Each structure stands twice: as structure tokens, then as C-alpha cells.
Chains A and B, each alone.
Chain A
Amino acid sequence: DARVTQTPRDKVTEMGQEVTMRCQPILGHNTVFWYRQTMMQGLELLAYFRNRAPLDDSGMPKDRFSAEMPDATLATLKIQPSEPRDSAVYFCASGLVPRGWTSGSPLNTGELFFGEGSRLTVL
């Protein structure tokens, strides 16, 4: 049963500490998304990768957040230094964009598959 795997599931840390969250996308998927969910803001897109290349990270605070895909089986989201306002649930999602994708392609139906999330609490 293919699924997106995220670690850790829960993380409690102190302000100023570095936090790294990891995601293993579904094998064969070529797009990865990082979202943050809070009660106040709902779901916020932080970063989007296609074929391991970052295509959109406009929603990510650049001064403290960084997202990478060192290989096709691993995506990371790092916060350094962490702050209490970063407390949230962070989701990774993956999807498949067919070869030869264009924005108008009918093949690009694009449902996403989400991991179970990493709940971060920064004290």
C-alpha cells in the first residue's frame, strides 16, 4: 500500500533550536509539496518541488525555513532557528505529473497524496 511517510510524527522543542522534518514521497511520484496547517491560517503552501527542483517556495519564510530534495526518495523541511509561531502541523504531499506535462494537459489531473503530518510544538 503506497503512502507518503513523514517523520517525526510529533516534535516538541525549545525556541532557537533547529528542527528537521523528513518526507518520503510515494515511489514514482515526481512532485512534492510542503504544507503547514494551523487553526488560524488553515492550509498554507510552503514549497513545491517537481523532479526534485524547487519550483515555488514563495509561501516559505526564507530567513529561517529551507526545503530540499537531496534525492527522489527524500524531501526535507528545516527550520533554524525555530520560534513559537512555527508551532503547527506540517504536511508533505506527493503527486504524479505525466511526462510532457503542460498546464493544460488533460492527463494532469493532479490529486495529491498526503502524509500523516509532523506536529511541531516550539516552546
Chain B
Amino acid sequence: SQTIHQWPATLVQPVGSPLSLECTVEGTSNPNLYWYRQAAGRGLQLLFYSVGIGQISSEVPQNLSASRPQDRQFILSSKKLLLSDSGFYLCACRRTVSGNTIYFGEGSWLTVV
């Protein structure tokens, strides 16, 4: 089965600073990869997904961007963080050969101050 690693687990950044959250997947190849955000007390919102290297789809307009430089690596970035970017970010993976179940990593807490 696949394993999803995210880092850093916790991050406190000042407003206007850059962001890089990294996600790597083990145990599968050519997965679909996702970034979700969970704001405090709310459900999950899909931010980006990728079906292959260099292929990124954005679900909502925002201050963030995503990149997929390698098959099992997915990076969430920002050039200048806003207070509203604070939240819990979850990387997720779907094995394209095994149906429609999406599995999640352990998440990264981002606090923008």
C-alpha cells in the first residue's frame, strides 16, 4: 500500500513570507496527487490536483500554487503568504489502477502571523 509523507508537520510564517510544503508518495507509481486545505472548524477544500508530472489543475483561485517536478512529489507554494492562508494542509493520493479511493497524508499545520 502507498505511504504519503508530508513536511514540515508544523510551520509558523510571517505575512508576506514564502511557503513551500512538500509531499512525497511511496509504494505506487503514476498516482494522482491532491492538495486539500482544512480551515479551523470547517470541512476540506480541494486546492489542486495533478494527474502527472508537470500537470496541475487548480480548483479555486488563490494565493497558492502547486508543482509536480517528479512522479511522486507534489509541492505547494506561495510567494507571499496571507493571514487567510492559515490552516491544515493535507496531501492526498489516488492510485490510478485501483479505483477511486483517495488516501491522505498526516497533514501540515500552517499558521501565518
Partners in one complex: no
